[in-house]
Structure 1
Amino acid sequence: MNTQPSQQEKATEAKPSKSRVWLRRGLELLVFIVIIMGVRAWQQRDIVTGVAPVLSGERLDGKPYVLPARPAQPVLVHFWATWCPICRAEQGSIESLAHDNPNVITVAMQSGNSSVVQKYMSEQAVSFPVINDADNQISARWGVQAVPASFIVDTEGNIRYVEIGYTTEIGLRIRLWLASF
């Protein structure tokens, strides 16, 4: 009497069914999604919502800037840093938006003094409007702890959309457009 399993029995035992494979993949995907959502929630834990905080300062070009309490058009407030590689990847989108839309203001967070930020802007050949937040007061007021961070402020002065991390140009354009309704 042979108690050893046949080759066919071995193959059947070793190979999980298709439904088990799909179930496992589905569970792995669910775990991945939960982790991503947890990271995003952690990044946004202190982000301000509701009425936009005060935003005022001197731009790198020497002009004063004050975010109106009720802007005539939606405003993109974009936080970034010179040391952030994702911000560098996104700066072409911000440059294009600022070129087409006067309601874009950026805040350079933890990037050194204004001359360091200005040098970076020159080296990168970008010219979007920047307020330097060397002492992190503006970033703290807005609850920003991770960059890039983009806020869309609507015409009522409320923060309508917040994105932490890379955001596409078309995504920002659509959010700006939607915030006008």
Structure 2
Amino acid sequence: MIRWITVLIITLLAWTPAHTAEFKWMDESGTTYTLDSLKGKPALVHFWASWCPSCRAEMPAFAQWVSNHPQIKTISVTLDQKAANATAFLQEAGIDMPLLLTDENQARKLGAQALPTTIIIDADGEVSQLHRGPRDWSSKAYSDQLLKSLLPEAQNAPLHAQR
């Protein structure tokens, strides 16, 4: 019995995504990028798809959050197989965001097993936070949590100024 439990634990540990972020994506022109190019800077990676109802509902607030925080390196990547579907959704929703593409295998390398998924990559290129499922991007508490990880100066500063 203990042998089976040990095998199960080892299997589950092997299935858990690696903490070091290995991930590739491309832009509409076909240029491929990797997270290695961001080493030294934290980044927020957001996975979505136009066919995902939760993603569609969350995307306007996410786009507003990104717009409100231009100092954050944000990589918003669709898992749509056809770029035209993602482009049509972004246009329909009035979202002005670059179209970046990847596939399910690349997304899983970072631990995305559901959509939408938001992942924080630290300055060392490792996954520091993994948020599966839709989030309330208008929430100050959620925003503060992300900003504390993404802005080095925010780690030493109080979230609320004292008077």
Larger radius of gyration: 1
Matched ranges for 1:17-56 at <5 A: 48-53=17-22, 55-56=23-24
Deviation >6 Å, runs of 4+: none
- Aligned counterpart in structure 2 of residue 103 of structure 1, from 54, 73, 80: 73
Instruction: Calculate the TM-score normalised by the size of structure 2.
Output: 0.67
Distance in 2 between residues matched to 1:52 and 1:82, nearest whole Å: 25
Report the CA distance between 1:87 and its aligned residue.
1.1
Q: Could you report, residue by residue, the CA deviation over 1:117-149 in whole angstroms, capped at 9, with x for unpaired residues? A: 11221111112233223x423123234221011
Distance in 1 between residues matched to 2:66 and 2:38, nearest whole Å: 20
Distance in 2 between residues matched to 1:76 and 1:83, nearest whole Å: 22
Match in the other structure for 1:138: 106
Instruction: Calculate the TM-score normalised by the size of structure 1.
Output: 0.62
Distance in 1 between residues matched to 2:48 and 2:83, nearest whole Å: 14
| Structure 1 stretches lacking a partner, 5+ long | 1-45
Distance in 2 between residues matched to 1:84 and 1:98, nearest whole Å: 20
Question: Structure 1 residues 129, 63: closer, same or farther in 2, change over 3 A?
Answer: farther
Q: Taking every aligned residue pair, what percent have the same amino acid on both sides?
A: 24
Between stretches 144-153 and 87-96, larger displacement belongs to 87-96
Question: Structure 1 residues 157, 138: closer, same or farther in 2, change over 3 A?
Answer: same
| Structure 2 stretches lacking a partner, 5+ long | 1-14, 156-163
